[in-house]
Amino acid sequence: MSAKKAELIKEMIAMQKKFTAYEHANGVDPKDYFKPEAGSELDGYRQKFQDMANQVVDMAHSEAGSER
């Protein structure tokens, strides 16, 4: 596994832990998750996490020789 991929996974896990803590403390309405208000704790979370996940998948495909 590349260092970059490992770092992305580590950051994604940290993001998940932070999200879970936020959810337990505040609850999360689906509206706030999918269309958060600008400047809220969840603003940009979903897109950033998705972008990182896509990078990890692309790296894994590249390492396996099965690029999309």
| pLDDT at residue 56, rounded to an integer | 95
- List the alpha helices (DSSP H) in the chain: 3-26, 30-34, 45-64
Query: In this predicted model, what pLDDT tens digit does every residue of 13-66 receive, in sequence order?
Result: 999 999 999 999 999 999 999 999 999 999 999 999 999 999 999 998 988 877
pLDDT band at 68 (very low <50, low <70, confident <90, very high): low
How many C-beta atoms lie closer than 10 Å to residue 62's C-beta?
Answer: 13
Question: Own/partner pairs for 47-52, CB < 8 Å, 24+ apart?
Answer: 48/15, 49/12, 49/15, 52/8, 52/11, 52/12, 52/15
| pLDDT at residue 48, rounded to an integer | 96
| pLDDT at residue 39, rounded to an integer | 93
Q: How far apart are CA 18 and CA 48, in angstroms?
A: 14
Phi, psi angle pair for 54, to nearest 5° = -65, -40
